[in-house]
Amino acid sequence: MDSKNLNDIKKEDKRKKKGFSSLLFGNLFGNKKELNIFEEEQVQSPFMTVIKTFASNKISMTALIVFLSIFLIVMIGPLIVPIDLSFMETTQQNVAPGLDMMKYPSELEGNVADISIGPTYSVGVSNDGEVFVWGKTKVSNAIDIKAMMPQDLGKVVKVSAGYDHILALTEDGEVISWGNDRQRQVSLPYELQFTRNVKDIVAGYQFSLVLTEDGRIIHFGNIMNNDYNEFHQYQGKIDKLAVTSDAVIGLTFDGEVVYLGTQQNSYTRIPENMGKVVDIAATATTIAALNDQGEVFVWGNITRGERNVPETDSKLVAINGGRYHYTGITEDGEAVAWGADFYKQASVPQSLKGKRVEKIYSGYYQNYAVTEAGDIHTWGLKGYLMGSDGLGRDVFARLLNGGRMSMTIGAVAVIISTAIGVIVGSVSGFVGGRVDMFLQRVSEIVASLPFLPFAMILSSLIGNAMTSSQRVVLIMVILGLLSWTGLQRLVRAQVLSVREQEYVTAARALGIKKSQIIFKHILPNVISVILVSATLSFASSMLTEATLSYLGFGVQAPIPTWGNMLYGANDSIVIQNYWWRWVYPSIVLGICVICVNLIGDGLRDAIDPRSQER
């Protein structure tokens, strides 16, 4: 055999060995050389013919790629972005989408005089006395902190951000306030109008505190949320203030930490023998004191690692408190942080390594560190890609984890319904007689049940005595047990048309068992109907689970599914004002259902050539 013929044979073999991927994606992303009818018969098996036909359907292929992308994201995503089912944070309720909470104005770079941090916004003042507000400044439908800021503030030297209001102190000692005044936390008391020796200002939740140079405290706003005694014995002795979510603590000129309330609680158990305290700070539930030896003492309701102070090469000289974490600066200018870290608010960035930090501003879940060169470094909560819900939970994280749950429920329900439908339909169609009569009457009874009301009643009666995990399994079983009747009719009809063919008669003549004839000879020839029906049932099961959860009878919170995320947004106020809580779950659920239906149509057309003639 000459070399020319040998090369021709090699080329022919190479052409015959076209890969699966080229057949699957070739028609979608590019044209390939068309083969004549004789060559097609030589290289394509029936399975490859189905693949090629499906791949030539660009709509179905696009739907497959989109669905597989979403499937992989919701299956892998929860491993990267896990959720804590018990987590909730009232200060982060219904925050709009965006990652701009720490995008400070460029005018503050190298020009920071003070920064204070609120729940979703921050306020800063430059060395020139100009005030800037950034982040999610619209804290409610009626309150926009940035829009409400007075036009002429004068030269401001200090600012303090509360839950929904701001205090500012000018170089002349004047206190200016704006924001929500529902509890009179913005309305300055009469005595403050004539006070100009203001040393410090503190804006909290529905209250405000002003500290004067001579150690007096002026309190205004709601006094019921915080245990503060206006007639405490330390008036005229206070050098610094720190507030938790429900208490006020002071540091006297003598370096003593004192409680400024009337109740006995965990805050009043102040550690003894702390020495001379030079700084105090507070989180929502704890208090920290720093003495002149660099030792930190923490007390209160410690639940998030607030006492786990890291070791440093030099002693700490200043501390600050966030919502559930602390930050500090050492003598060498090193920044440290400890406490809760679910928003990375206690993880000091590597960009600060080797740089001397002059000042750290901490609050809620954000931190701003100013270096010796004047650079600003931030870390903590940047915002929410898809916003937060009514309990302060990240919608994006719940969408990922909820997608995995919704798809798992749909897949298991389809497996159950398909198994029952195939077995019942195959046996009924092949055996016939009384067996067929009995199975069809059972199928009609199940089919006659009003599906949604029956599933709601069953879920309500049985599910109330179950745990959340058991309820998820119950929903899968209910969906599977009540949705098999349609498939069994299709399988029965196909089996009735196939069982009289010659190869079935031959199998009977050879004495092959009925079960083997059904499941080894007949069933493979009706697999196309089963495959298409299962694909469409998957979309139907996802919609049914979403409907049950939306009506409150499906998977219950805090376990997320796309359905109960929509149920949580079933409120006119949410629909009008917090669109992100229902738009994103609706879009993803709709895309998945449409894609699955398009995939099912594509499979039907590829498997059954007669459908293409319609």
Please name each of the domains of the chain with its CATH number.
20-56 (no CATH), 61-86+393-613 (1.10.3720.10), 99-225 (2.130.10.30), 230-374 (2.130.10.30)
- Does the bond joining 46 to the residue before it have cis omega, within 30 degrees of 0? no
pLDDT value of position 349: 94
Highest mean pLDDT among 10-14, 465-469, 587-591: 587-591
- Residue 614, token pair as written in the block: 């319609």
Nearest to 207 by CA among 254, 175, 248: 248
Q: What is the mean pLDDT of residues 526-553?
A: 79
Q: What is the mean pLDDT of residues 352-360?
A: 92
pLDDT value of position 4: 54
**In the chain, % of residues over pLDDT 90:** 53
Q: How far apart are CA 328 and CA 311, in angstroms?
A: 12
Amino acid in position 514: K
- Residue 388, token pair as written in the block: 């937060």
pLDDT value of position 610: 59
Highest mean pLDDT among 100-104, 531-535, 598-602: 100-104
CB 181 within 8 A of CB 205: no
Q: Is the pLDDT of residue 560 over 80?
A: yes
Total length of the chain: 614
Q: What is the mean pLDDT of residues 147-157?
A: 92
pLDDT value of position 150: 93
Q: What is the mean pLDDT of residues 275-279?
A: 94
Q: What is the mean pLDDT of residues 330-352?
A: 94
Q: What is the pLDDT of residues 78-100, one digit of tens each?
A: 999 999 988 999 999 999 999 99
539 against 174, higher pLDDT: 174
Q: What is the mean pLDDT of residues 398-402?
A: 93
Q: How far is CA 194 from the centre of its chain?
A: 49
CB 520 within 8 A of CB 507: no
Q: Exposed, middle or buried, 603 (CB in 10 Å: 0-12/13-18/19+)? A: buried
pLDDT value of position 24: 46
Q: How far apart are CA 131 and CA 226, in angstroms?
A: 28
Q: Is the pLDDT of residue 464 over 50?
A: yes
Q: What is the pLDDT of residues 281-323, one digit of tens each?
A: 999 999 999 999 999 999 999 999 999 999 998 999 999 999 9
Task: Give Cβ neighbours of residue 220 (< 8 Å, ≥ 6 apart).
Answer: 184, 185, 187, 188, 189, 192, 207, 208
Q: How far apart are CA 226 and CA 205, in angstroms?
A: 9
**In the chain, % of residues over pLDDT 70:** 91
Q: How far apart are CA 215 and CA 253, in angstroms?
A: 8
pLDDT value of position 612: 56
Sign of CA dihedral 249, 254, 255, 257: negative
DSSP E strand boundaries for 213-295: 217-221, 238-243, 248-252, 257-259, 277-282, 286-291
Nearest to 425 by CA among 478, 476, 497: 497
Q: How far apart are CA 534 and CA 21, in angstroms?
A: 24
Q: What is the mean pLDDT of the chain?
A: 86
- Weakest mean pLDDT among 8-22, 433-447, 508-522, 563-577: 8-22
Q: How far apart are CA 438 and CA 248, in angstroms?
A: 76
Nearest to 36 by CA among 44, 27, 25: 44
pLDDT-based confidence at residue 534 (cuts at 50, 70, 90): confident
pLDDT value of position 94: 94
pLDDT value of position 11: 55
Highest mean pLDDT among 52-56, 71-75, 456-460: 71-75
Q: Is the pLDDT of residue 381 over 90?
A: yes
Q: What is the pLDDT of residues 479-502, one digit of tens each?
A: 888 888 888 998 888 888 887 777
pLDDT-based confidence at residue 20 (cuts at 50, 70, 90): very low
Q: How far apart are CA 455 and CA 137, in angstroms?
A: 45
3-state DSSP helix/strand/coil percent for the chain, to nearest 5?
A: 45, 20, 35
pLDDT value of position 397: 95
Q: What is the pLDDT of residues 415-458, one digit of tens each?
A: 999 999 989 998 888 888 899 899 999 999 888 888 778 777 77
Q: What is the mean pLDDT of residues 269-273?
A: 92
Q: What is the mean pLDDT of residues 569-580?
A: 88
pLDDT value of position 135: 96
pLDDT-based confidence at residue 226 (cuts at 50, 70, 90): confident
Q: What is the mean pLDDT of residues 579-590?
A: 93
| pTM for the whole structure | 0.82
- Weakest mean pLDDT among 18-27, 69-78, 472-481: 18-27
Q: Is the pLDDT of residue 111 over 90?
A: yes
Give phi and psi for 13, each to the nearest 5. Answer: -65, -40
Q: What is the mean pLDDT of residues 165-190?
A: 93
Q: How far apart are CA 74 and CA 64, in angstroms?
A: 15
Question: 509-536: buried (b, 16+ CB within 10 Å) or exposed (e) per residue?
Answer: eeeeeeeebbbebbbeebebbbbbbbbb
In sequence order, the β-bridge partners of residue 249 are 242, 259
Task: Give Cβ neighbours of residue 453 (< 8 Å, ≥ 6 apart).
Answer: none
Distances (CA, A) of 158 to 151, 311, 363: 17, 32, 15
pLDDT-based confidence at residue 241 (cuts at 50, 70, 90): very high
DSSP-assigned letter for residue 311: P
Sign of CA dihedral 386, 388, 390, 391: positive
